[in-house]
């Protein structure tokens, strides 16, 4: 565990971990989005061990012991509830989990019995550690909610040592999907533009209804097809990735998708270009869902 390279503006003492707070009033941050995600993660913070394992196995399919191991010092940027840090905690040396929102309190609860994780309230444009510090840094489902995704990635990557690795998950632009799927998505985007502007409590209720009446019919259809080993057909069903997920995860992701006002999506080519522009090479973009998750080595 390294020392911070600046002095915290506040240290919050809790029953679990002390949380150091740094300035989150940067230029490359949307305060409304940060507040929204803080509320989301305080609502959805009770991830089961199974939920974390199932999702973690999908997200981290491109990691191996060359990338992370028991000696690795890693940075989780936009940690949210801390579920990804929890998934990796037994595989690495130490994790610095940072987030600019009140999600740090949800993470504090989820990670209470894990000693090799420190939680810090900080944003990607004011990461309180020296450059070239970490063996591995990751940002999962975060950078596409930041106004300037490319700049945010550059700010993250510079904290990684030369020869270290940076991993990210960014929403894809559905470039490989067909006409019907893209039109369904266009419709859902119009709904998101309305729902995301609702008051917090109304938004949560509507997103729960979306999970029940929009997500679940596709999920149930996919599960039925899978029961009859019709995988080739089920993979074409929208939201088929949720067939092995709990209803808790589905509700959470419905709020994640429809509850935020800022969402950007990228092609595979754009993801690779942004990573290269950030100083990464040997980039691997997983062929599996979720799309797109990728890793690169810093040179």
The H or E element spanning position 275 is: helix 268-277
- Asked whether residue 5 is assigned to any structural domain, the reply reads no
pTM: 0.95
Cis ω for the linkage preceding 235 (within 30 of 0): no
Query: Do both 254 and 160 map to the same domain?
Result: no
Q: Are 48 and 84 in contact (CB under 8 A)?
A: no
Query: Do both 222 and 124 map to the same domain?
Result: no
Task: Show the tokens assigned to 79.
Answer: 């940690």
pLDDT band per the 50, 70, 90 thresholds, residue 86: very high
Query: Do both 183 and 46 map to the same domain?
Result: no
The per-residue pLDDT of the chain, averaged, comes to 96
Give me the helices (H) in 64-102, please: 83-88
Residues β-bridged to residue 121: 21, 99
Query: Do both 185 and 272 map to the same domain?
Result: no
Query: Do both 118 and 229 map to the same domain?
Result: no
Q: Are 154 and 277 in contact (CB under 8 A)?
A: yes
Rounded Cα–Cα distance for residues 194 and 206 (Å): 11
Query: Do both 47 and 138 map to the same domain?
Result: yes
Domain of 37 in residue numbering reads as 10-172+265-298
Residues 120-149 have pLDDT tens digits of 999 999 999 999 999 999 999 999 999 999
Q: How many domains does the chain have?
A: 2
Report the sign of the C-alpha dihedral through residues 96, 97, 101, 106, in that order: negative
- Asked whether residue 101 is assigned to any structural domain, the reply reads yes
Query: Do both 287 and 245 map to the same domain?
Result: no
Rounded Cα–Cα distance for residues 171 and 193 (Å): 17
pLDDT at 66: 95
Instruction: Sheet containing 73-77: give its strands across.
Output: 10-12, 19-21, 117-121, 94-99, 73-77, 134-140, 160-169, 293-298, 280-285
Residues 222-243 have pLDDT tens digits of 999 999 999 999 999 999 999 9
pLDDT at 271: 98
**Section 17-27 average pLDDT:** 95
pLDDT at 280: 98
pLDDT band per the 50, 70, 90 thresholds, residue 201: very high
Q: Are 289 and 241 in contact (CB under 8 A)?
A: yes
The CATH number linked to 105 is 3.40.50.150
Query: Do both 131 and 236 map to the same domain?
Result: no
Residues composing the chain: 299
Beta-sheet pairing, 160-169 with 280-285: unpaired
């Amino acid at each position: 565990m390294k020392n911070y390279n600046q002095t915290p503006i506040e240290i919050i003492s809790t029953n679990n971990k002390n949380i150091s707070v740094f300035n989150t009033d940067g230029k490359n941050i949307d305060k409304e989005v940060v507040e929204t995600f803080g509320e989301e993660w305080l609502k959805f913070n009770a991830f089961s061990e199974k939920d974390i394992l199932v999702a973690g196995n999908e997200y981290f399919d491109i990691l191996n012991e060359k990338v992370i191991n028991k000696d690795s010092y890693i940075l989780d940027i936009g940690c949210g509830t801390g579920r990804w840090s929890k998934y990796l905690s037994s595989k690495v040396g130490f994790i610095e989990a940072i987030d600019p929102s009140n999600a740090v309190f949800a993470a504090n609860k989820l990670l209470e019995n894990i000693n090799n994780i420190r939680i810090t309230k900080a944003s990607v444009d004011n990461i309180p550690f020296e450059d070239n510090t970490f063996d591995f840094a990751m940002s999962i489902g975060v950078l596409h909610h930041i106004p300037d995704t490319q700049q945010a990635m550059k700010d993250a990557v510079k904290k990684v040592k030369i020869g270290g690795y940076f991993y990210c998950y960014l929403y894809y632009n559905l470039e490989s999907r067909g006409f019907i799927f893209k039109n369904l998505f266009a419709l859902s985007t119009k709904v998101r533009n309305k729902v995301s502007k609702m008051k917090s409590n109304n938004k949560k209720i509507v997103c729960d209804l979306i999970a029940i009446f929009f997500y679940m019919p596709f999920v149930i259809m996919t599960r039925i097809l899978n029961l009859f080993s019709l995988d080739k057909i089920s993979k074409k069903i929208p939201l088929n990735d949720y067939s092995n997920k709990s209803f808790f995860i589905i509700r959470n992701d419905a709020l994640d998708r429809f509850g935020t006002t800022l969402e950007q999506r990228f092609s595979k080519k754009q993801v690779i270009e942004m990573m290269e522009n950030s100083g990464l090479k040997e980039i691997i973009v997983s062929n599996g869902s979720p799309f797109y998750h990728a890793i690169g080595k810093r040179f």
